[in-house]
Amino acid sequence: MPLDLSRIRSTRSEKRFGTLTRRFQSRQTVIAEGDSWFAYPPRALIAGPPSNVIDHLKNMRRYNLLQLAISGDESVDMLTGSSKFRLIRLLEKYEVDTLLFSGGGNDVVGAKDFEFFLRSGVSSNDWRSYLYMDRLERRLRMVGDSYRDLIDYCRSYSRNPDLRIVTHTYDYARPDPQGARFLGGIIDGKSWVYPYLRDVGVPRAFDQTIVNHLIDALAGQLLDLEARFPDTLRVADTRGTLTPGSDKLWVNEIHPSEKGFRKIARKVFDRMNA
């Protein structure tokens, strides 16, 4: 029985993506590159309800959508080396309307990242004392420079001169010992933020303030770029979308639940179609 292409909402196959763009020329053509907010797996790992922003977006409207996102990717990695060359090649080859991009979160809370910003051996009533501000500022500049490179790549190489980049600002992650859990807890991972705060002795009263500072600083980088390049970059400011501490909106300390991702996706969808 032949495959019904009209039912396909996204693909990781470039060959199938090319077929979709030829067959359904009236659809919006989208490439999604990013991290776990675009690629977080369902709790059963294979099947389940929508579990990331892209899962929800493709249920809101049918696109010709090529999914490149991989959990754990950092923005710098996505825009250098083989990933950079792949993205540029795709932008040159296809008439892409929207490039969805999710990057920056892992640059500040990924492995050897968040702990790198935390200062140990401190006893202070000022939360700033527990951060290496110079290290954090360098990293944020790297993220901002990566996005600036992305803007210039799109302006220089995109087959579609009107291509728009749409990104988001994440939300205020909640420090919590709960890491990723799949298959009903059979697979249970370490959390990304909480253990490192405890390791260096940060008072718990400062946990959320420190995390909020990182998210706000990252958002500031993106919103500044949007103000400079409004014809190319659109930023969905998703901060404050999810209620802090709500078990219904977060599945662990840095990833929303299915319901939470739906709320984030709605804001991204609105910026895609503004």
State residue 248's pLDDT score: 86
Q: Which residues of 188-227 are buried (b: 16+ CB within 10 A; e: fewer)?
A: eeebbbbebbeeeebeeebbbebbbbbbebbbebbeebbe
Neighbours of 103 (CB within 10 A): 27
Q: Supply φ then ψ for residue 114, to 5 degrees.
A: -55, -45
In single-letter form, the type of residue at position 58 comes to K
Dist. CA 213–CA 140, nearest whole Å? 12
Sorted by where each begins, the domain ranges of the chain are: 5-106+146-194+222-272
- CATH number listed for the domain at residues 5-106+146-194+222-272: 3.40.50.1110
Neighbours of 67 (CB within 10 A): 23
**Tokens 């200062």 found at:** 119
State residue 140's pLDDT score: 97
Dist. CA 84–CA 74, nearest whole Å? 12
Dist. CA 52–CA 42, nearest whole Å? 8
Are the CB atoms for 101 and 165 separated by under 8 Å?
A: yes
State residue 183's pLDDT score: 43
Give the DSSP per-residue string, the chain. ----GGG---BS-HHHHHHHHHH-TTSPEEEEEESHHHHPPPTTSSS-S--SHHHHHHHHS--EEEE---TT--HHHHTSHHHHHHHHHHHHHS--SEEEEE-SHHHHHSTTTGGGGBPPS---S-GGGGB-HHHHHHHHHHHHHHHHHHHHHHHHH-SSTT-EEEEE--------S---EEGGGTEEPPPSSHHHHHHTT--GGGHHHHHHHHHHHHHHHHHHHHHH-TTTEEEE--TT-S-TT-TTTBSSSSSB-HHHHHHHHHHHHHHHT-
- Tokens representing residue 55 in the block: 């899962």
Q: What is the pLDDT along the chain (274 residues), one digit of tens a residue?
A: 456 777 777 999 999 999 999 999 999 999 999 999 999 988 765 666 788 999 999 999 999 999 999 999 999 999 999 999 999 999 999 999 999 999 999 999 988 899 999 999 999 999 999 999 999 999 999 999 999 999 999 999 999 999 999 999 999 999 988 776 654 443 456 788 999 999 999 999 999 999 999 999 999 999 999 999 999 999 999 999 997 666 689 988 999 999 999 999 999 999 999 8
